[in-house]
Amino acid sequence: MIDFTFTEEQDMFRKAAREFAETRVAPFVPEMEKTGKVPPDLVKALGEAEMMAITIPEQYGGLGLGFVARMIALEEISRISVATGMMLQVLALGIDPIVRFGNEAQKKKYLPGLARGERLATVAVTEPTGGSDPTGGRTVYSKDGTDYVITGRKCFITNSHIADVVTLLAKDENDPKAFSAFIVEKGTPGFKATHEEHKVGMKGCNTGELSLEKCRVPAENLVGREGKGLRVTMSAIGDVGRGGMVGCALGLHTACLEASLKFAKDRILYGKPISVLQTIQNKLAEMKIDLEAGRLLAYRAAAMQDRGEPSSNEFAVAKYFTTETAQKAAKMAVDIHGGYGCMEEYAVSRYLRDAFVLGPSAGTSDIMKVIIARWVLA
């Protein structure tokens, strides 16, 4: 039997997440838009609300609520601030390799602090020479006694300048087909955050570059087996990263619909609200149809993930659909607002800018089609 309803606990969690977003996240949005920086008090608030702990098992200080709950949290937070949703989803992306592939010592060392928000995480795979194709990366490692020595450069890394714990991918300098994943901590000699990007949208969500110059990492920081790092990092991106982007897209889409509906009811033209116009109703209906379809795709994939079933392909479908329709919804929201939609005083102008950043993150729509086509042809 298929049950399309949320549990009572999930409904309560959604209510709490929405209240948190409206009262604790919303006040920071103007500052984030103005400065483009991550407010430390916002990070503190996320930690206090245990938003980083959702998918961390209880025995390591987490909530152990699973990925449906994570989707709910990201949808509700991104309804207010996609930038905050993006930051939060990548924090979970950075945590996932340790949860799934870390040994017991690594879990005990890192997860409790990450759950409390005392430390922040990210994953570093993308390089100037390798993004959608991670094997094109040039970051290399070599073995020196009991340590690994890593040299290279990572780019377009979300949370680059605020992360304390980075799980990164590097290849064996003596075997270009062997990739391994390592935990590198902030402050490690030879490791630093360098250039910070200035994106068209999602302002206040940090994205930048990481540099490693003969960075020495102890053997105990190897995540999973040596030479199996692609599985460690790419499974996190495929399941957790794309799932996170889906949650962000749903939240943005919801915000576009709500703002458009309010404006259409309030805006008077020829003595009547524009909501009575068929062309406006068509846009609102299309936004609603796409949102409901996207939610079905999203929560089906998240439920599969919670049951331990393979869900990478389902998340590729959901990621493609929800980010594409969120961009469409943002464009229609601006159309409904007319000239007002081009003014910074109206949130829909921010939604449009944010929507364009959704597409490339965790794989472009074209890359999603490649993944989906492989699934179809298998």
pLDDT band with cut points at 50, 70 and 90 for residue 2 = low
Backbone angles phi, psi at 207, to 5 degrees: -135, 135
Question: Does 131 score more than 80 pLDDT?
Answer: no
| Domain carrying residue 36 | 8-120
* Same domain (yes/no): 43, 70: yes
In the listed set 196, 227, 258, which residue is the last one of a domain according to the structure?
227
* Same domain (yes/no): 205, 239: no
Q: Please indicate, yes or no, if residue 211 is contained in any of the structural domains.
A: yes
- The β-bridge partners of 313 are none
What pLDDT is stored for residue 4 in this prediction?
Answer: 78
Question: What CA–CA distance (Å, rounded) separates 145 from 57?
Answer: 34
> Residue 232, CB half-sphere, CA atoms under 13 Å: how many?
29
35-42: list long-range contacts, CB under 8 Å, 24+ apart.
Answer: 35/203, 35/204, 36/198, 36/203, 36/204, 37/204, 37/206, 38/87, 38/161, 38/162, 38/204, 38/205, 38/206, 39/204, 42/84
What pLDDT is stored for residue 333 in this prediction?
Answer: 98
Cα separations in angstroms, 158 against 199, 204, 274, 283 = 11, 11, 40, 33
* Same domain (yes/no): 368, 238: yes
pLDDT band with cut points at 50, 70 and 90 for residue 1 = very low
What pLDDT is stored for residue 121 in this prediction?
Answer: 96
* Same domain (yes/no): 160, 205: yes
What percent of the chain has a predicted confidence (pLDDT) above 70?
99
Residues 76/22, Cβ–Cβ less than 8 Å = no
pLDDT tens column, 347-378: 999 999 999 999 898 889 999 999 999 999 98
Quick one: average pLDDT of 71-99? 97
Q: Please indicate, yes or no, if residue 373 is contained in any of the structural domains.
A: yes
166: left (phi over 0), alpha (psi -120 to 50) or beta: beta
pLDDT band with cut points at 50, 70 and 90 for residue 239 = confident
Quick one: average pLDDT of 245-254? 98
Copy the structure tokens of residue 232.
């460690």
Q: What is the CATH number of the domain that holds 317?
A: 1.20.140.10
Residues 149/216, Cβ–Cβ less than 8 Å = yes
* Same domain (yes/no): 179, 274: no
Count of domains forming the chain = 3
Tell me the one-letter amino acid at 207: T
pLDDT tens column, 147-199: 999 999 999 999 999 999 999 999 999 998 999 999 999 999 999 999 999 99
Question: What CA–CA distance (Å, rounded) separates 207 from 249?
Answer: 18
* Same domain (yes/no): 368, 262: yes
* Same domain (yes/no): 244, 339: yes
Residues 130/139, Cβ–Cβ less than 8 Å = no
* Same domain (yes/no): 106, 194: no
In the listed set 120, 144, 177, which residue is the last one of a domain according to the structure?
120
Q: Please indicate, yes or no, if residue 1 is contained in any of the structural domains.
A: no
Name the pairing type of β-strands 165-172 and 121-124.
Answer: parallel
Name the pairing type of β-strands 147-158 and 175-185.
Answer: unpaired
Q: Please indicate, yes or no, if residue 178 is contained in any of the structural domains.
A: yes
What pLDDT is stored for residue 328 in this prediction?
Answer: 98
Q: What is the pLDDT of the chain when averaged over all its residues?
A: 95
In the listed set 170, 192, 227, which residue is the last one of a domain according to the structure?
227
Copy the structure tokens of residue 308.
């331990």
Question: What CA–CA distance (Å, rounded) separates 1 from 27?
Answer: 43
* Same domain (yes/no): 107, 149: no
Question: Does 79 score more than 70 pLDDT?
Answer: yes
Quick one: average pLDDT of 325-329? 98
Residues whose CB falls within 8 Å of the CB of residue 216, separated by 6 or more in sequence, listed in order:
144, 147, 148, 149, 188, 189, 190
User: What is the C-alpha radius of gyration for the chain, rounded to an integer number of angstroms?
Assistant: 21
What percent of the chain has a predicted confidence (pLDDT) above 90?
92
